[in-house]
Structure 1
Amino acid sequence: MQSIGFVVFPNFQVMGFAAITVFEVANFVAQETVYSVSLLSEQGGLVRSSAGFSVETEAFDGKVFDTVIIGAGAQIEPSAPALLDFVRRSMQTSRRVAAPCTGAFVLAEAGVLNGRRATTHWFFARQLQKRFPRLKVEEDRIFIIDGPVWTSAGMTAGIDLALAMVEKDLGPEVARSVARKLVVYHRRAGGQSQFSALLELEPKSDRIQKALDFAKQNLRSTLSVDDLADAANLSPRQFSRAFRAETGQSPAKAVENLRVETARLLMEQGRLSMDVIADETGFVDRERMRRAFLRAFGQPPQTVRRNARIGA
């Protein structure tokens, strides 16, 4: 049985408990208790969350855990010395130490991220890099594994991190089964972007959303304004005006962003050639795809794919 110590502190963010559910469901799928989870804190007892309720915890002691996960805080605050000592000790005694979201700041304070690659919630990434220049922050990653240290983006990315642990421990079939029972996609690749073109567009009406859905399902097609307007049941002029008003982008730019996002995901999966990806995503040829990637990321597709392989 693998023991997991999940560390909380005053005003911890409760979304981190979603990762605990992954291990709970993994036990159900495996039909045995593979994982046991203990909630830990500096002094033990009740610890109040940022949502206002409290949870019962055990105090740090000499117990050794296979995996230690540092919870995220609602705000970035200095860590207690006892917490930092616990992290440093765990680096010597545990198989892996993980920190979703702002938990990376705790690892950085403890010095265990020096010389390592790490990620965190995109909103705090620049702050993490500025405060701790000895680590390499990759702000657009879902999660990163650097030796025994695992870090992830914020909120639901903790689920991806926990699913990756289950996959490493019990295999991909168990991880996929856990994901299905949680009603989530099988874990996103660690190198996948934290950002989504559809989320950034945020249309306000069903008609514009319908046009975007149509575009994403038909990226190999030309996707003219007339095509998108038909999907939205609007005239081309009405559609163009409404689309820009709701999304802040032209239809052509939005379609390019969707193509770039889809192409990037295919590159991170690593199974298709650049020519096939360009064709599948509607860029037609590699040169058009290269120019679009330079506009979006300032990097050519080859660099994006290489970085994903390094992350993997």
Structure 2
Amino acid sequence: MAANKVFPRGVPREQNARLTVGFVLVQRFTLCAFANFVDVLRLAADEGDRSRPIQCRWKVIAPDLRPITASCGVSVQPHEVFASPRLFDYIVVVGGLIDETDTRDEKVEAFLQQAAEAGVPLVGLCTGTFILHRAGLMEGYRGCVSWFHHLDFLSQFDGLKPVSDQIFVVDRDRLTCSGGTSTAHLAAFLVDRHIGKAQSTKSLNIMMISGAEDGGAPQPGLTLDFRTKDPLVRKALLLMQQNLDAPLSVLDVARHLEVGKRCLERHFRDALGTSPLSAFIEMRLLHARHMLENTDKSIAMIAAESGFCDSSHLSRMFRRRYASTPQGFRASALGRSA
């Protein structure tokens, strides 16, 4: 276990801390991913709820002390420059905007490689998984990414298949997470491992997060079951994904992407062999199926969240696609898991 590592002479450890974390924030990092993770540590660290870093300690580390700007515009001042990665039990890389992952930082990559060579576990939050892959540190490991970035990963790392249907993955000394509130669950997992379940539960309760989820919990979204490198089609699919409960017309999608309706239809036909409308209906049915399998929501609620007029509309479309009613599909799924 990482907390029991023996540190060489000349590398001081934080007194009494049972869990120490070094955060590496990339430019345009996702503030939500960082804040959720660090707040779990903060709330678990103090015996008196005064935010004192007693049982957990953390620092933001960087190649230099210049402020690092999040994607929302908030800047964070690093505590110190890179030193020995063995000062920490974990090095956590917080990624951000997908366009920024293409810009490689040699100093960051060198530090992460140094940490890996020293046996310090590496954690990738949000697109931090991309950064670890780009640094050559995920070979032979399973890596988790958000369903939102599934196709981005496939396009950047040929032949590699990410895990994008669960909230985080722990594979030996690589821990990767889809981002958002799932980073709180990964942090709680580490607090539970190193400090105790009571502290991890306390943190989540104070943050109004109902119970710890294990890594296998499904992401609150779907991986897109459409494979294409056509950038226009990918943008359209992501726009559809973000509007499942209030479906846009094909014309609205085309207008949003600043192309003609016929142009969009031609791209879908060439890339996927189907129409934008058919792809959108398929996506909404996949979302409904996912909720039938993984939640106890009513059929009416699932219909509303999947963009269908009512439960009857969902049932007609579902039966046409899967040769089963939503109720029958749920019953079969429960039987398989029993």
Q: Residue 251 of structure 1 aligns with which residue?
A: 311
1:60 aligns with 2:60: no
Structure 1: stretches of 5+ with no match in the other structure: 205-211, 233-242, 257-280, 291-299, 306-312
* Change beyond 3 A, Cα 1:5–1:246: closer
- Identity value in percent: 19
Return the match for 1:72 from 95, 102, 110: 95
Aligned length: 240
Structure 1 residues 186-195 or 243-252, which shifts more? 243-252
1:131 aligns with 2:152: no
Could you tell me how far 1:244 is from its partner in structure 2?
Answer: 7.2
* Change beyond 3 A, Cα 1:142–1:284: closer
Could you tell me how far 1:13 is from its partner in structure 2?
Answer: 1.8
Match of 1:247, SS state, is: coil
What TM-score does the superposition give when structure 2 sets the normalisation length? 0.61
Could you tell me how far 1:47 is from its partner in structure 2?
Answer: 1.9
* Change beyond 3 A, Cα 1:118–1:282: same
Instruction: Read off the aligned partner of 2:23 and give its amino acid letter.
Output: F
Structure 1 residue runs of 4+, over 3 Å off? 29-32, 133-136, 199-204, 215-219, 243-246, 252-256, 281-286
Distance 2:296 2:20 in 1: 43
Q: Deviations over 1:137-193 (max 9, x none)?
A: 111110000111000112211111111111111232221121111110222221111
Contact preservation (8 Å) 1:29, 1:178: no
* Change beyond 3 A, Cα 1:44–1:94: farther
Q: Residue 38 of structure 2 aligns with which residue?
A: 20
Distance 1:246 1:157 in 2: 22
1:11 aligns with 2:28: yes
* Change beyond 3 A, Cα 1:244–1:4: closer
Could you tell me how far 1:249 is from its partner in structure 2?
Answer: 5.9
1:51 aligns with 2:72: yes
Distance 1:150 1:245 in 2: 31
Could you tell me how far 1:36 is from its partner in structure 2?
Answer: 1.1
Return the match for 1:34 from 31, 55, 60: 55
Contact preservation (8 Å) 2:142, 2:163: yes
Q: Residue 245 of structure 2 aligns with which residue?
A: 202
- RMSD over aligned Cα atoms: 3.7
Q: Deviations over 1:42-80 (max 9, x none)?
A: 222322222223221122123522111001122333221
Match of 1:137, SS state, is: coil
1:178 aligns with 2:196: no
Structure 2: stretches of 5+ with no match in the other structure: 1-16, 223-241, 248-287, 317-325
